[in-house]
Amino acid sequence: MSERIGYLGPPGTFTEEALLSLSIAKSAELFPLGTVFDVIDQVQSGDLDRGMVPIENSIEGSVNVTLDALAFHASRVVIQHEVVRAIRHALLARPDVSLEDIVAVCSHPHATAQCRGFLTSRLPKAEIHAANSTADAAREVAERPEAWAAIGSPLAAELNGLVVLENDIEDRTENVSRFVLLGRAATPVAPSGSDKTSVVCFIEKDRPGSLLAILHEFSDRQINLLKLESRPTKERLGEYCFFIDMEGHAAEPPVSHALASLRTKILEVKVLGSYPRARDA
């Protein structure tokens, strides 16, 4: 029986492209879902075996809905793999629409933010409309009679009968996104020799030195931290938790020792996953 893997849809998203880059996708049943939360929730419930969602962009930063769902909802879901891909945005339109005709541009807010320079210089009078995803934007543009364009991928153009008017319209060519493949915690990933561990740390109360005490556990063991970010706990104003990515696997020292020591000092340490580190991550 083939695996059931969900991803942030609809078909044609950059998330689908990231998933298709993995060999496991070739033999799996793929299911596009409407939101990041839907993907994570169906992995949590067992309706899906795995799920692919975006977690970070080099320009716009973390995907907060993914971090929050993993920290506060997904008690039985862990990160099993990561994929880092260059994001190349294209301007898409119906075959009968030229660049000079365009009166509005539709896309996900992250995508339009990453293409501000192009929009300002080439389409200064076009209205900007938000969509749930770049693929949703392509679908809407294909269905509208007006001269609209979408910012999205060539795959989204192909799936919706659109053409690419301009390629590589992003402001920064080093624009990359990180996607994570999620699975159930009952099937953790064994150490590969080049791993990353993601955790979220909850402190009992806000007090001076709380973050420093956490960081000491890693610095004292010479563990390289790859990312540190705070997010509200959703409980009270001014209360934060800390998301940390580090080199190493949670099943091996020194990471295992650092996490064990941390659990004696703070309210909770939740391991979001230990998984092979992508080459460019």
* Number of separate domains in the chain: 3
pLDDT band at 184 (very low <50, low <70, confident <90, very high): very high
Q: Considering the entire predicted model, what is its pTM?
A: 0.88
Residues 213 and 243 in one domain: yes
| Residue 164: partners with Cβ closer than 8 Å, 6 or more residues away | 90, 91, 92, 154, 157
**Residue 72 falls in which region: left (phi positive, over 0), alpha (psi -120 to 50) or beta:** alpha
Residues 154 and 106 in one domain: yes
Length of the chain (residues): 281
pLDDT tens-digit readout, 24-41:
999 999 999 989 999 999
- The amino acid at residue 195 is D
Residue 167 has pLDDT above 90, yes or no: yes
Residue 238 has pLDDT above 80, yes or no: no
The sign of the CA dihedral 261, 275, 29, 142 is positive
pLDDT band at 144 (very low <50, low <70, confident <90, very high): very high
What was the pLDDT predicted at 91?
98
What was the pLDDT predicted at 281?
63
Residues 177 and 218 in one domain: no
Residues 116 and 243 in one domain: no
Residues 196 and 269 in one domain: yes
Cβ(280)–Cβ(194) under 8 Å?
no
Domain that holds residue 208: 189-281
pLDDT tens-digit readout, 185-200:
888 899 999 999 999 9
Q: Give the 3-state secondary structure of residue 128.
A: strand
Residues 161 and 108 in one domain: yes
Nearest Cα to 16, choosing from 181, 193, 172? Answer: 181
- In a 13 Å sphere around the CA of 260, the CA atoms on its Cβ side amount to 9
What was the pLDDT predicted at 233?
85
Residue 209 has pLDDT above 80, yes or no: no
More reliable by pLDDT, 232 or 280:
232
More reliable by pLDDT, 59 or 138:
138
Place of tokens 């059931």: 4
Residues 243 and 107 in one domain: no
Residue 180 has pLDDT above 90, yes or no: yes
Q: CATH number of the domain at 79, please.
A: 3.40.190.10
Average pLDDT over residues 98-121: 94
Residues 233 and 122 in one domain: no
Average pLDDT over residues 261-266: 91
